[in-house]
Structures are given as structure tokens and as C-alpha cells.
Structure 1
Amino acid sequence: MGYHHLALAARDMKAIHEFYEGVMGFELVKVEIGPSPEGGWAKHFFYRMEDDSKFIAFWEMHDMPGTENFETNLSKAAGVPDHINHISFDVKDRADLERRRQRWLDAGLDVLEIDHNWCHSVYTKDPNGNFVEFCLTTGSFSDADREEALRALTAEKPAFSKPPTNIQFHKPAAA
């Protein structure tokens, strides 16, 4: 089972659309428009990520009480460092990961690349200020991995994981 959609508030829907359709390559396929139970109204935009069962969606709110100064960055709203709350999308293979990294760079975005030893990721920020990630699983999981994870649930001072194999910061060519 996977999730159907992730829904987030947006302050600048034009910038969100340019990023998620133009840069990420997700297709805007549906909008729902209607009143809000709290007052005001909203547009709910759905971007197809892969097929008609996987979407990322954004709310554009109008005249809704209490939404005048809302924070769109999930981590900032929660009071934690930016990398804590992030959105991670899967890729099918290494070539797809490299293509996604290059697409971000071509769009003028900074990219962080990390080989986590069991997955390989590239990160940038969306117009809401949220870290977005494309991630390729490169390893497999053993019974020992599960046992370690279960022990970590209650460990007061667990051993640190092996550090990433490689961390790179990529700047766009125009920078």
C-alpha cells in the first residue's frame, strides 16, 4: 500500500505550478474548488507523479480565517531544522536520479547529493521552502538491520550509523 496524495498549503500557486510541473515534471491533472467549512474558499490542485494513484496536491486558500500569515515550510512551522521534514520521491534507477539532478541544475537550483550507503539521494528546495528529494534505494535490508532498528527504539545512547559514503554540493552552471 502506498499513499494516494500528500496535500500542502501554498502561498504562491504560480511558483508551485512552475516548479512541480515545469521542473519536477509532474502533470497538473485536477482541481477541486469549493467553500471551506471554516469560511472562505479554496482551490485544491492535484499533480500526477507517476500514474492516477499517486499525486502531490496543493491548497490555494482564499478568505479563510486564520490563514493570513501561514508558514509553508513544514520544518520552519514545526520549529525544527529544514532537513527534518522533507518530501522524498522515488526514482526507478541511477539514470533517472542523474536526469532529475541535472533537471534541477538546469532550472538554476542548488542540489545536495548524498550517498547514504543504502540509498542515494538528491535534494533541493521547492517554492514553499521545503526540501524535496529524489531517492534511489541501492541496498537491501537484512534481519540484522531490523534488529538494530528495533533496539534503537528504546536505546538511550545508540551507536551512530556509518556516515554517508559521499556528500556533494552542486551549483547550477549559471551560478
Structure 2
Amino acid sequence: MIHHFAIATKNFEAAHYFYTEVMGFPLVAGVKRQAPGGGWTKHMFYDIGDGQTMALWDLRGIEGVQINADEWRSAISTGLGLPRWINHFAFNCNGGNDELEERKQRWLDNGYHVSQTDHEFIRSIYTFDPDGNLVEWTYDTRPINAEDTKYALEILVDDTPPTQPDYEGPFIRSTKPKYKPDPKPLPQAAE
């Protein structure tokens, strides 16, 4: 079971809005401390359900001290040189398809495009957060069974290329504008 995961943001205000207003995760805790190596940070925690949290880092206090603001990338895939769909965060829709449809509409109403995919045992929708991280809402369409595990063990050792194409599903473009606050300026060094 995961307790929390934490991600850095380039524009904390945009990320905070996305995760509170668009995703619906309330802010529940925060820590503001001096950073090892100089500067300071805020570590803000959001309730993602089922007693678990995620955290956003506001690193403005270490930019210009430990890192150069123009040299780091916050997206967990493209920041590492990977295609943007590889690393992602999947959140559970305990309410099944009804909740998934509500989440999809919330994304669209807030200016986010949505793609949908039916996998073998889950149904998912995807969008990108303000930092370019792929975010997913998903639910189980059926329990994982012994056949699923048997197949997983088979493909674990099978290194031949697959013959099945990638998943296909609808892509819905939002017609609404996204909320885009200006990032806060970097703190000025004390004279």
C-alpha cells in the first residue's frame, strides 16, 4: 500500500489548482522547511482517497540556489527523455463507470482533453497535468484471475515482438479554456 508520492512542479499555483479543483483532491497538510544544500521548499499534501495522499513540491526557494530554473523539467517522462505516455499516475474510481464519467466531464469542463481506453481488466481515462505528467482515472471492470496471472508469467519470459496493436479509444477535445495562473516570482536574495 502506498502512503504518498511526491512530484515537483514548475508552476505550483497551476498544479495546486489542477489537483484541488480539477482532480478534486483537498489539501490536507503541508510542511515548509529549509532545504538541505540551501534555500527552502514547501511540501504540500493532498488527500487522494482511501487514506492515501500525494504531495506537490514548491521548489521556488531552491531555484537559483541549488538548481537553475531553466534547466530542470518537472514532467516525469519527458523530463527524463521518454515519451510522455510512459510514466503516469493512476487513481482509482471506486464508483466504477459512473464516477469515471463524472471525472471525465470534470476534466473537460476545466479545459483538459481526455482519452479513454478499455484494457483487458480496467477502463481508464487520461489527461496531462499542467507539468505534462500523464494522469489516469481507472476502475476494475472485472477481478484479476488465474488466467491473467498465467498470461503475465508467459509474457514475462517471451521477448518476441507483439502482434496486437496499441489500445485504441476515443479522444475528446475540451472546448473550455484551462486555468493558467502566473507563477510566483522567485524570492529575491537578502542584501
> Structure 2 length as normaliser, TM-score?
0.83
What is the CA–CA distance in structure 2 between the aligned matches of 1:33 and 1:115, rounded to whole Å? Answer: 41
CA distance in 1, matches of 2:146, 2:163: 19
User: Residue 138 in 1 paired to residue 141 in 2?
Assistant: yes
Q: How does 1:33-112 map to 2 (within 5 A)?
A: 33-51=32-50, 53-61=51-59, 62-63=61-62, 64-68=65-69, 69-92=71-94, 93-112=96-115
Distance of 1:144 and 1:158 partners within structure 2: 21
What does residue 169 of structure 1 align with? 171
1:154 positional shift: 2.0
Identity value in percent: 35
Shift of 1:159: 4.4
Count of residues in correspondence between the two structures: 172
Residues of 2 paired with 1:171 and 1:31: CA distance?
34
Alpha carbons 2:108, 2:176 under 8 Å: kept: no
Counterparts of 1:137 and 1:158, CA distance in 2 = 27
Q: Give the root-mean-square deviation of aligned CA atoms.
A: 1.8
- Uncovered stretches (5+) of structure 2, i.e. residues with no partner: 178-191
Cα shift at 1:174:
4.2
Secondary structure class of the residue paired with 1:9? strand
1:152–1:158 Cα contact (<8 Å) kept: no
**TM-score (normalizing by structure 1):** 0.90
- Amino acid of the residue matched to residue 90 of structure 2? S
2:10 is the alignment partner of 1:7: no
- Which structure carries more relative contact order (alpha carbon 8 Å, separation 6+)? 2
Higher strand share: 1
Post-superposition CA distance 1:110-143 (Å, at most 9, x none): 1001111311100011011111000011022222
Question: Which residue of the partner structure matches residue 123 of structure 2?
Answer: 120
* AA in 2 matched with 1:98: E
Q: Which segments of 5 or more consecutive residues in structure 1 lack a partner in the other structure?
A: none
